[in-house]
Structure 1
Amino acid sequence: MPKFAANLTMLFNEVPFMERFALAAKAGFKGVEYLFPYDFDREALRAALDLHGLTQVLHNLPAGNWAGGERGIAVLPDRIDEFRRGVATAIEYATALGCKQVNCLSGIAPVGVSDDVLRTTFVSNLKLAAEEFEKHGIRLLIEPINRFDIPGFYLNTPDQAASIIAEVGSDNLFIQYDLYHQQRTGGELIGTFRKHQAKIAHVQLADNPGRNEPGTGEIAWPFVFRTLDALGYDGWIGCEYKPRTTTAEGLGWLTDIGR
């Protein structure tokens, strides 16, 4: 059965960030993920993981000015040096935290730049990052995100991601498959997973509509979990949803599947 990781950016956000590790462990999670670790001391994060017996499952590469609306810089031709510095920083944190997967957000396509230039930039950056991460035993992931939530986001579908991975030509580049984003983009959650399973290294979830916890929307979660298990997926599933009320009140779905 897949393992569930609490996304601490989204869950338990009624308390300060460093207090969320304890709550995740208390709720029964064995792993955690979150957007970015870079505002926190590496040793303090590692101590929290060790204290509560948690695995650091995933975090993202530095993604530019997040508060200012940027959602990644990997496709931006004028930010290549910054991207490369971010690779080095991400490796430092991932190594300190024992994190074996780092996600690269492509970014929002800037107006007036051709798709050829954007793709060339993205592919070049991914080649460098995949090679550098591989030296440290860390997998690099890319995540398709729907354009309703992030208008203009460059990478939208697993098919597009697979095409880019083929062009990069690295054995160390994989897909982060977010079930919520796939549901909004085109549905066919299981069919799409089957098609790209060989390159899917991480799965995330939220229900739709609303991006709340499983059981609040239209997705048939018992079927999804059962089928992922039957297909042999034994990786982590990151719970990247917005609790409809509080995190604790919305954890019934986790209890229902025996976690």
Structure 2
Amino acid sequence: MPRFAANLTMLYGEHPFLDRFAAAAADGFEGVEFLFPYAFAPADLAARLRGHGLAQVLFNAPPGDWDAGERGLAALPGREDEFRSGFLQALDYAEALDCTRLHVMAGLAPAGVERARLQATYEANLAWAAAQAAAAGRDVLIEPINPRDMPGYVLTRQDEAHRIVQALGAPNLKVQMDLYHCQIVEGDLATRIREHLPGGRIGHFQIAGVPMRHEPDLGELNFPYLFDLIDEVAATCGWQGWIGCEYRPARGAVAGGTSAGLGWLRARRG
């Protein structure tokens, strides 16, 4: 069975952030992910992980000014120094949290900047980040994000992400395949899983129901089938990654709202 990680940025919103670790563990999660750790001291986060027997499986490198609308720096010309200092900070957190995967956000395409220049900046920054991460025993992940949720994001398609990964050739540069984003942009999820997972370049999956980004049993996708497919393909290629539950609970940030919506996970566990 796939290993599921609770996304603490989106789940258990009724609790203060540091209390969400306990809530996830109480519901049987063995791993967690979140967007950004930087508002908290690494030692405080590490203590929560240890105290509740949780693995930190993923978080994002600094994205620029998130509150001002920035969504990553890796593809933005002129922001290279900021990107690199932020990535080194992420590596420090990854060491403290024993996290092996760092997601690097590409950013929103600035008006008037040619696509070729964005691409060259993106690939140069990714090559540098992958080299730094390799020395620390970490993977760098890139994620295609749909333009409905994030208009103007530089990377939107699986084939483009895999082209970049293959072109750069760093063994620790991989794709974060969010099935929610992929369904909205491309569809044909089963074919794409069969195509990309055996190649060893998918570092992480994420899930949410489509179209509302609620629990995976709400919406148009047949997630039990897709989970079985991931199990089937993983067994043939040795993939042992995680599936991040990056969705907004349909009940909202109310007491017990996330837990009440985990019927899909309890059914999966039998």
Same fold (TM over 0.5): yes
Q: Structure 1: which 5+ residue stretches go unaligned?
A: none
Q: Which residue matches 2:217?
A: 215
Who is 2:3 aligned against?
A: 3
Q: How does 1:129-144 map to 2 (within 5 A)?
A: 129-144=129-144
Superposed displacement of residue 63, structure 1: 0.3
Partner of 1:229: 231
CA drift of 1:167 comes to: 2.5
In 1, Cα distance between equivalents of 2:40 and 2:24: 18
Provide the residue aligned with 2:254 in structure 1: none
Residues 123 and 167 in structure 1, CA contact (< 8 A), matched pair in contact too: no
Mapping 1:168-179, distance limit 5 Å: 168-179=168-179
Deviation at 1:165, TM superposition (A): 1.3
Q: Distance between the aligned counterparts of 1:168 and 1:120, measured in 2?
A: 11
Q: How many residues align?
A: 259
Aligned residue in 2 for 1:242:
248
- The TM-score with structure 1 as length reference comes to 0.98
Residue 177 of structure 2: SS of its match in structure 1?
strand
Unmatched runs of 5 consecutive residues or more in structure 2: 252-256
CA offset at residue 169 of structure 1?
A: 2.3
Letter in 2 for 1:208: V
**Which residue of structure 2 aligns with residue 181 of structure 1?**
181
Aligned to 1:68: 68
Q: Give the fraction of aligned pairs with identical amino acids, expressed as a percent.
A: 48
Distance 2:194 2:154 in 1: 23
- Structure 1: which 4+ aligned runs deviate by more than 3 Å? none
Q: Distance in 1 between matches of 2:259 and 2:68?
A: 30
Taking the aligned partners of 1:96 and 1:205, their CA distance within structure 2 comes to 27
Q: Report what 1:102 is aligned to.
A: 102
Give the match's secondary structure for 1:67: helix
CA distance, structure 1, for counterparts of residue 188 and residue 214 of structure 2: 19
Shift of 1:171: 1.3
For the 8 Å contact 1:60–1:102, the answer to whether it is kept is yes
1:163-191 CA-partner distances (Å, limit 9, x unpaired): 11122221110000000000100111111
The aligned runs of 1:45-84 (5 Å cut-off) are 45-84=45-84
Name the structure 2 match of 1:253. Answer: 264
Alignment-derived partner of residue 159 in structure 1: 159
How far did 1:14 drift? 1.1
Q: How far apart in 2 are the matches of 1:43 and 1:146?
A: 34
In the alignment, the residues of structure 2 paired with residue 191 and residue 201 of structure 1 have an alpha-carbon distance, to the nearest angstrom, of: 17
Give the deviation of 1:249 after TM superposition.
1.4
2: CA distance between counterparts of 1:100 and 1:36? 15
CA contact (8 A) 1:124 1:168 kept: no
Shift of 1:88: 0.7
- 1:78 CA drift (Å): 1.3
Counterpart-to-counterpart distance in 2, 1:241 and 1:96: 26
**Any conservation in 2 of the 1:58–1:103 contact (CA below 8 Å)?**
yes
Q: Aligned equivalents of 2:203 and 2:107: distance in 1?
A: 20
Superposed CA RMSD = 0.9
**SS in structure 1 at match of 2:269:** coil
Alpha-carbon offset, residue 53 of structure 1:
0.1
